[in-house]
Chains A and B, each alone.
Chain A
């Protein structure tokens, strides 16, 4: 190899090509989609999904904005203790929730919270995939109309 300059992007292209080939063989072997026999098609599918998983800002997507109607669909990982009762009774209930109930159930809340966070992340990736497919579809439609 000597002192010849190595370009990281060239090495990474090679590695990523190799990883895609390994992944395709693995999926075919495990009974994945028959379409993956076509290497070119597999690479195209990989590229679309990779754009969604790696390339998208998961905090800026169209679908979650559109789904943000009357029903709050987002996972609530923040714990907010409230009561509908007014005055001293309300204050007492809130105090009891915070100082007695919460310490007793905290472990359960914290255990579930981590899983909720994971699910929330997965939801956002799925939104990104759907959006990426919609973009791809719209692009193709536009191109077809132009022809």
Chain B
């Protein structure tokens, strides 16, 4: 089949959830299909400033067509519309405007879909919240497959979504919780598959020692963007309260930071880390902590289980709690006291913690190996013919 994958940013150096998901899926589909990525020239997810050259290029096994962004995002204006959405006060027009303000505004990408969309057998769109999907999907609705990457945030409740979710021919969901969230907004007869994401077995090599990193065991690990929206402020608050109990365990935070991190002997921010360091951290941590309140699928959680690492996740995020329960691979917390109790359990019961990690790995083996994931996507693409 000739497939197009539409995504707001694309590149091996882009560390974004839906962008990374699109790239991995596209690369695996390219083994069987002719895959073209339709994306923008943006790299920065805040401004959408043009970074990559417009036009055609080849990245590995896929063809990439990049279209320029004509207007950078005005964050203040965007936040004003976001406030209206959060307060459930946005009119239909303002809801539509939110998607324009969110961007990335790349009219040439829409023009390409209008002119050449019929040339693709299927057009897969990532993330309903971006300009390219919101305005692009209706142009090729008869062949569109939507990967909504929906999260439990205020946007999911806006009225404009019901007619939009009726447009695509099929859905690829990341978790059962995401499917339930979209629920009856998508007509019941739409074909769908719940795919998550694929993983290869973790490498067995020993890349970087803890000494080289200046770390000592025991430590718990946070991996990803260090951002208040990812629940990091709350995580640090819970951890500092936990540290007051006198327990000698470090919180290692590996990822680019967009918020201040307190200077505390038990909190170790590492900034952006290489794959080799990431591998070592996952191998030596006692547990992964996932404080994010909004997720459509936590890749980091799957990655931790891929290394047999147990997790402690935010119970207020249905997706994280659902993943932990389905895998029997981690505990969850709803507040600071539960955070401390969960962490105490994982540190005081090392055998049980290891077993939770093993169960997580079994879950990944059962659900998230590439042949299983690609098989589900192939079946869906065939079903919507």
Contacts and interface: CB of A to CB of B under 8 A. Distances in A.
Interface of A: 1-9, 11-12, 15-16, 18-19, 22-23, 53-54, 59, 74-80, 120
Interface of B: 80, 83-84, 86-89, 154, 157, 315-316, 324-325, 328-332, 334, 337-338, 341-342, 345, 349, 351-352, 355-356, 358-359
A3 B316 CA distance: 30
A79 to B, nearest CB: 6
**3 cross-chain pairs, A with B, having the tightest CB-CB distances, nearest first:** A1-B351, A78-B83, A8-B328
A16 B315 CA distance: 12
A47 B213 CA distance: 45
A18 B343 CA distance: 13
A15 B330 CA distance: 13
Given A4-B355, A6-B356, A54 B315 contact: yes
A15 B345 contact: yes
Contact of A11 (B87, B154, B331): B331
Contacts of A53: 334
Nearest to A12: B331
Contacts of A23: 337
A3 B341 contact: no
A74 B89 CA distance: 10
23 contacts: A1-B355, A2-B351, A3-B358, A6-B352, A6-B356, A6-B359, A8-B331, A8-B356, A12-B331, A12-B332, A15-B338, A15-B341, A15-B345, A16-B338, A18-B341, A19-B338, A22-B341, A59-B88, A59-B157, A78-B80, A78-B89, A79-B80, A80-B80
Given A7-B328, A78-B89, A54 B355 contact: no
Nearest to B339: A19
Contacts of A1: 349, 351-352, 355
Nearest to A80: B80
A15 B341 CA distance: 6
Given A8-B331, A78-B87, A54 B316 contact: yes
A3 B342 contact: no
Nearest to B355: A6
Nearest to A120: B87
A45 to B, nearest CB: 16
A5 B359 contact: yes
A78 B84 contact: yes
A6 B337 contact: no
Contact of A8 (B154, B316, B325): B325
A73 to B, nearest CB: 12
Contacts of B316: 54
A68 to B, nearest CB: 11
B154 A59 contact: yes
A5 B80 CA distance: 50
A7 B359 CA distance: 10
Contacts of A76: 87
A77 B328 contact: no
Contacts of B80: 78-80
A11 B352 contact: yes
B77 to A, nearest CB: 11
A106 to B, nearest CB: 8
B83 A77 contact: yes
A108 to B, nearest CB: 15
B338 A11 contact: no
Contacts of B334: 53-54
A2 B359 CA distance: 13
A67 to B, nearest CB: 14
Contacts of B342: 15
A71 to B, nearest CB: 15
Contacts of A18: 341
B154 to A, nearest CB: 7
B223 to A, nearest CB: 21
Given A3-B355, A74-B89, 20 more contacts: A1-B352, A2-B351, A5-B328, A5-B355, A6-B356, A8-B329, A8-B331, A8-B356, A15-B331, A15-B345, A18-B341, A19-B341, A22-B341, A23-B337, A54-B315, A59-B88, A59-B157, A76-B87, A78-B80, A78-B84
A7 B316 CA distance: 20
A94 B342 CA distance: 54
Contacts of B154: 59
A7 B275 CA distance: 32
Nearest to A64: B88
A115 B355 CA distance: 43
Nearest to A116: B83
